[in-house]
Structure 1
Amino acid sequence: MTSISNSLSIKHGLSLWCPHSSSLNRTLHSPSLPSGRSFQRRRYVVASSAFANENREFVIVGGGNAAGYAARTFVEHEMADGRLCIVTKEAYAPYERPALTKGYLFPLDKKPARLPGFHTCVGSGGERQTPEWYKEKGIEMLYEDPVSNIDIKKQTLTTNSGKQLKYGSLIIATGCTASRFPEKIGGNLSGVHYIRDVADADSLISSLGKARKVVIVGGGYIGMEVAAAAVGWNLDTTIIFPENHLLQRLFTPSLARRYEELYQENGVKFLKGASIKHLEASSDGRVTGVKLEDGSTIDADTVVIGIGAKPAVSAFESVGLNNTVGGIQVDGQFRTSIPGIFAIGDVAAFPLKMYDRVARVEHVDHARRSAQHCVKALLSSQTHTYDYLPYFYSRVFEYEGSPRKIFWQFFGDNVGEAIEIGNFDPKIATFWIDSGKLKGVLLESGSPEEFQLLPKLARSQPIVDKAKLQQASSVEEAMEIARISLAD
């Protein structure tokens, strides 16, 4: 469940707070935000009887990873208790979303992940933030009530249920929604699944428990991860996608072939370069197959659509969108063009400093880091620009009894010439060299020390002897050549 959107293809402020008082109605002023843009002071009008969030000065909209890590950062600065409100469409406190297409989908006899086991911030080794944690920290949580409208002038939000929320500083962390098939081609049929939240995953698990033939549409992260989980259920599994190979935006054809062969060894079938005409259904409205443009039909009683995601910005278009990469335009402190309004995580179109371009990154690592950077900038004198290093990873076949567990990481940019080292038994590495510099590296089944080396290489972009790297007899030798290049 990872993605990056760029203006180029991947290939080529401290606030004041006033306690609740039903009779209080006064104006608070927040100091100016750090330099970098010209901001007017925000006026926060307290009129507690009119608003559902008891006049919390800080409001986070969204309940994903970014919201959870932002909450933790508020707590670390002792600015959460009685001051922070989180409003979310989800029924659960923020959790580590990548678990949904990995451990959560394991069969029941293979120890699947379940809440509260993967609430934030366990993914980075932090404290598990259960619903009780938010209560203990004095953070107000409004569940299952997404924000539908914002009035920038009045600094108010309206939720689907009609609640009116007041904010002084607002952090938009609404993330993305799954891209869907149109209803006219069967996108809403029974047995057709999208996966973005716990409810989606629970619905899919219910289908997997009764399924015989599963078709997964999409050859990206979701497609690969869901297919690996389906293997654990011993299901007839087919992946359909229009590209020439798996994860085309990152994998080279050679690297993709290695993973495709592994999946095929586990019984997964592939239909590459395929276009879907529509989904077929029985008389009771349940999906029965996938009709392709070439006239053929693939039988299926469960279909999973994993064709990407779209930033959830419909309620915040007035804040200012980036029409190239999508999402809400922000600066290096995650400030929008509206004073006192910020955007973080998947929904933020931010300056990717090290590559000098604007990007929108759908990844848990960015959600964590952007949340922490934003809140520190809001609550302290931090003024340095967010300097993110693109990072992607996947873990598949990790359930009990799996003959081989797969775990890879990629750091940097996949531009230039790709050099592949290793035979995938079990290790393989791909290095991207551009103008003599190491721009990106992907490693499968590396050691902890090797994985720790990857971000250092990608950020430093050392000059590497390409010929020497190509002659390496093993992944270990290639990684050592790259490591030594850091000192040159």
Structure 2
Amino acid sequence: MTRIVVVGAGQAGASLAERLRALGHAGDLTLIGAEAHPPYQRPPLSKKYLLGEMALERLFLRPPAFYAEQGITLRLGCRVTGIDRAGKAVLLEGGERLDYDRLALTTGSVPRRLPAAMGGDLPGVFVVRGLSDVDAMAPEFRDGARVLVVGGGYIGLEAAAVAASKGLHVTLIEAAPRILGRVASDATAAYFRDLHRAHGVDLREGVGLVRLLPGADGRVAGAELSDGTTLEVDFAIAGVGIAPDTALAEAAGLAIDNGIAVDANGRTSDPDIFAAGDCTSFPWQGGRLRLESVPNAIEQAEAVAAAMLDPDAPPYVAKPWFWSDQYDVKLQIAGLNTGHDRVVTRKGAREGALSVWYFRGERLLAVDAMNDPRAYMTAKRWIEAGLSPAPDEIAEPARDLKEIAAG
């Protein structure tokens, strides 16, 4: 029987392994994870878990017993050091070899860290990615503590929201002219800028970090900023993005293109090696796309599982959607706004509800919906169907979305 090994026990790896069994794979199936915990959800880590509103066990995607019941061999706390493509084996720390007939890489992504020259290696400087990162920083979230958040993307903004909600004094800096500069419109950025400032966050745009400053004990105690100011801080969080974890794939000689390059079925440049999730780039609308999202990790992994068992399985067609929770605001995003040339804003029925619609010409590309699930669901349905409403009609808040026809 076919032996399948999955390297990476995050959302994509767990979804892929589970789907393989559901589709009837009866051979050996091993899921390898570098962390000691069984596969778990990442989004609640920096929100409900850090706030103390979610217990560790509720993070787990499945109870630990599930994997044994499904005949999935779970190798946790296990580091893969290499891939022997010719011998069709993964090499484990300690010298063990694990043979495979088919291999799937679901290695996810790694956080970008501040350079050591900027003090990024000082004690008291954290990133937000895995369970160990959040557990390490949790004791720092004391009422009245001073935290510097570096980076005004969604990672940094979510960290700032949790810190402010816990009663910390939060300073967030973004070196670019505004927050969310790469991913959202001025309107969406303004909405979240106002939201954070209303919650007491000292949000500074166009201000970068020169270096973090150590105290007498060697721990971070201050920060020198590009606007000439110096802050006293108790700890710092680097929210400067993530990068695809391609180290194993690169060392094995697989093709890399802003991630592990795969075809529409998740097959890499080696026909017996597949990949799914944050670590991959895949064909999309005539180019290549890498998506960092839970929905993509699940949906692509399930499509790849089918392709590993059936060469005629349908290709993966991404339907991008994302979300972010900050304070009492839920942001829901449908589509990708890349290449837009027009932005239309629309007030929702609820107080504080707003949707931002992105068009290229007359074509609807994406929507950012803040506390407006109706706008999100309507736009998502239109985008997935290839339909577009008239931008001028969207801009009229008196027009009910049900009355607006898309064609």
Give the TM-score taking structure 1 as reference length: 0.79
Q: Given the alignment of the two structures, is residue 439 of structure 1 paired with residue 365 of structure 2, yes or no?
A: yes
Contact 2:105 2:274 in 1 (8 A): yes
Contact 1:421 1:478 in 2 (8 A): no
- Inter-partner Cα distance in structure 1 for 2:388 and 2:115: 48
Q: Given the alignment of the two structures, is residue 91 of structure 1 paired with residue 24 of structure 2, yes or no?
A: no
Contact 1:441 1:458 in 2 (8 A): no
State the SS of the aligned residue for 2:59.
Answer: coil
Matches for 1:331-480 after TM superposition, within 5 Å: 331-352=263-284, 355-380=285-310, 382-397=312-327, 405-414=328-337, 415-422=340-347, 425-447=351-373, 449-470=374-395, 472-474=396-398, 477=399, 479-480=401-402
* Per-residue CA distance 1:7-50 (angstroms, 9 max, x = gap): xxxxxxxxx24xxxxxxxxxxxxxxxxxxxxxxxxxxxxxxxxx
Q: How far apart are residue 290 of structure 1 and its match?
A: 1.5
Q: Which residue of 2 aligns with 1:71?
A: 17
Q: Given the alignment of the two structures, is residue 146 of structure 1 paired with residue 79 of structure 2, yes or no?
A: yes
Amino acid at match of 1:271: R
Counterpart of 2:121 (choices 185, 188, 207) is 188
Query: Mean alpha-carbon deviation: is it higher for 378-387 or for 220-229?
Result: 378-387
* Per-residue CA distance 1:83-117 (angstroms, 9 max, x = gap): 110111111111111111221121x4xxx223221
* Per-residue CA distance 1:54-95 (angstroms, 9 max, x = gap): xxx110000110011112102212326x61101111111111
In structure 2, the CA distance between the partners of 1:452 and 1:413, relative to structure 1 (3 Å rule), is same
- How many positions carry a matched residue from both structures? 403
- Inter-partner Cα distance in structure 2 for 1:440 and 1:213: 37
Amino acid at match of 1:418: V
- Inter-partner Cα distance in structure 2 for 1:292 and 1:411: 35
RMSD over aligned Cα atoms: 1.8
Q: Given the alignment of the two structures, is residue 322 of structure 1 paired with residue 246 of structure 2, yes or no?
A: no
In structure 2, the CA distance between the partners of 1:321 and 1:292, relative to structure 1 (3 Å rule), is farther
State the SS of the aligned residue for 2:56.
Answer: coil
In structure 2, the CA distance between the partners of 1:290 and 1:247, relative to structure 1 (3 Å rule), is same
* Per-residue CA distance 1:356-400 (angstroms, 9 max, x = gap): 210111111100001100001112354322110221211122xxx
Q: Given the alignment of the two structures, is residue 134 of structure 1 paired with residue 67 of structure 2, yes or no?
A: yes
Counterpart of 1:176 (choices 90, 103, 109) is 109
Q: Which has the higher contact order (CA 8 A, sep 6+)?
A: 1
Counterpart of 2:163 (choices 230, 235, 249) is 230
Counterpart of 2:93 (choices 119, 138, 160) is 160
Counterpart of 2:199 (choices 263, 266, 269) is 266
Contact 2:143 2:167 in 1 (8 A): no
Q: Given the alignment of the two structures, is residue 115 of structure 1 paired with residue 52 of structure 2, yes or no?
A: no
Counterpart of 2:47 (choices 102, 107, 128) is 102
The 4+ residue runs of structure 1 with deviation greater than 6 A are: none
State the SS of the aligned residue for 2:173.
Answer: strand
Query: Mean alpha-carbon deviation: is it higher for 234-243 or for 407-416?
Result: 407-416
- Inter-partner Cα distance in structure 2 for 1:372 and 1:150: 23
- Inter-partner Cα distance in structure 2 for 1:147 and 1:435: 48
- Inter-partner Cα distance in structure 1 for 2:279 and 2:10: 11
- Inter-partner Cα distance in structure 2 for 1:364 and 1:466: 30
State the SS of the aligned residue for 1:345.
Answer: coil
Amino acid at match of 2:341: G
Contact 2:35 2:77 in 1 (8 A): yes
Give the TM-score taking structure 2 as reference length: 0.94
State the SS of the aligned residue for 2:383.
Answer: helix
Q: How far apart are residue 450 of structure 1 and its match?
A: 4.3
State the SS of the aligned residue for 2:304.
Answer: helix
Gaps of 5+ in 1: 1-15, 18-56, 121-128, 398-404
Contact 1:319 1:328 in 2 (8 A): no
* Per-residue CA distance 1:432-456 (angstroms, 9 max, x = gap): 1222121212212124x54432321
Q: How far apart are residue 210 of structure 1 and its match?
A: 7.3
Contact 2:187 2:356 in 1 (8 A): no
* Per-residue CA distance 1:300-359 (angstroms, 9 max, x = gap): 111000101111111221342334xx211100000011121001000111012xx32101
Contact 1:392 1:410 in 2 (8 A): yes
Matches for 1:189-204 after TM superposition, within 5 Å: 189-204=122-137
When Rg is computed on C-alpha atoms for both structures, the one with the higher figure is: 1
Counterpart of 2:190 (choices 237, 257, 282) is 257
